[in-house]
Amino acid sequence: MSTTEANIYNHMLTVQNFPSKGDREMKYPKTLFYTIVLLILIICFTSLMCVTWIFKRKTEESIEVVVNCSLKGFPVEVLNLKIINRNLTAEQAENVAKEVFNFTGIVKRCSSLHCYEISNITDTDCKILYLFDLGGFQYSWRGYWEVFENPNPPSVEKALKIAYGFLGKIKKNRLVPNCPLIQIGKGKIDNETTVGSTVQISFDLLVNDIIIGEIIINVGEEGVIVDALGRWREVMPEGNITILSVNAALNLLPKRILEELDRELEEYNIKDYPQPKKIIVHNITLRYFSKWLSEPQDYLLPIYIVTFEIKWEETDREYFHYPMYYMALSALDGSYIYGLSLTGIS
């Protein structure tokens, strides 16, 4: 091939590989098309997020709330109760086990649980008592069912008499709060049990008629104390604090219900769950809340406990719902404290 022919051949290849005007006109509209589609998708996604948020707000505000209980008699202020250490000693702990629960054993300091543990454990018996630094106690006689294979609990009348006698021993040995403002309520039967169990009796601990704790006693055969729990904290008043009105707390209830429902649905990956459409409030009480006895806490927290019924939206699927729910809200800021699972799972 001559030089001239080679140049002509290369020029033809260059011309063939260079895009024509038509090709260029075809490619630019495609690029523009894809750009427009992308912008539309972004706008749709953003709109969907906004619609979801608006729907949630609308649902929250459109839930009907019916109150079937009195909202009168709630205070504007309550005592601010600071939790203090009662400074128990090992000697005092040992003496309480002996004088109140009729046993001696090994006294051990449990720093992680902030308590003293007194235990008497053998091959056939086990008694354990925990005395907590910030107040409260827990006792268990785990050998009860070994001694009484088929125990017959006492009558309710006899169990109440025994519980009051045991309460006297508790008071005498610093197993109730030392604060002079605290009163002990009347004994209540929590359950009338059948053969093979116990009779459980509880006493509320109150300040200005507001519950701050409780003492629970389980009475078994022959009047023995099988279990006892003092769920209270040693406290010292530090003036008064203003609390939310009961109406303000109820206004927050639908929002807290939806927040907890969303949290449960996300945690358990539940899809297409019905929404609440109506809340019927049957009871609301004011009391103080404390964490479990081994957990540190600076102050008792005033809370509203709301007992309510939920009417759910109708769906094609059947879901489990409790006939009644309860939820505790902080009486200081209306935040969620605890409550019965709304989905029935947790």
In sequence order, what are the residues at sequence separation of 6 or more whose Cβ sits closer than 8 angstroms to the Cβ of residue 160?
A: 187, 189, 201
DSSP 8-state class, residue 76: S
Tell me the pLDDT band of 317, cut-offs 50, 70 and 90. Answer: confident
Give the tokens for residue 206.
């109150």
In DSSP notation, 15-45 reads HHHSPPHHHHHHHHHHHHHHHHHHHHHHHHH
According to the model, what pLDDT value does residue 282 have?
98
Tell me the pLDDT band of 315, cut-offs 50, 70 and 90. Answer: confident
Condensed to tens digits (0 to 9), the pLDDT of residues 198-227 reads 899 999 999 999 999 999 999 999 999 999
| pLDDT value at 150 more than 90 | no
Tell me the pLDDT band of 20, cut-offs 50, 70 and 90. Answer: very low
- 73, 96, 89: which is closest to 246 by C-alpha? 73
The β-bridge relationship of strands 115-121 and 126-132 is: antiparallel
Structural contact between residues 305 and 250, judged by C-beta atoms closer than 8 angstroms: no
According to the model, what pLDDT value does residue 270 have?
85
Alpha-carbon distance 191 to 240, whole Å? Answer: 36
Condensed to tens digits (0 to 9), the pLDDT of residues 47-98 reads 434 333 333 433 567 899 999 999 999 999 999 999 999 999 999 999 999 9
Give the tokens for residue 187.
């004994």
| pLDDT value at 24 more than 90 | no
Tell me the pLDDT band of 331, cut-offs 50, 70 and 90. Answer: very high
Give the tokens for residue 46.
């953003």
According to the model, what pLDDT value does residue 46 have?
46
SS3 256: helix
According to the model, what pLDDT value does residue 30 have?
55
Structural contact between residues 96 and 175, judged by C-beta atoms closer than 8 angstroms: yes
Tell me the pLDDT band of 26, cut-offs 50, 70 and 90. Answer: very low
According to the model, what pLDDT value does residue 5 have?
42
Q: How far is CA 22 from the centre of its chain?
A: 70
The residue-averaged pLDDT of 260-287 equals 93
According to the model, what pLDDT value does residue 264 have?
93
Model confidence pTM above 0.75: yes
The residue-averaged pLDDT of 285-305 equals 97
According to the model, what pLDDT value does residue 41 have?
62
According to the model, what pLDDT value does residue 13 have?
37
| pLDDT value at 21 more than 90 | no
Tell me the pLDDT band of 238, cut-offs 50, 70 and 90. Answer: very high
Alpha-carbon distance 327 to 284, whole Å? Answer: 10
| pLDDT value at 9 more than 50 | no
Condensed to tens digits (0 to 9), the pLDDT of residues 260-269 reads 999 999 999 9
Beta bridge partners of 218: 200, 227
Structural contact between residues 252 and 186, judged by C-beta atoms closer than 8 angstroms: no
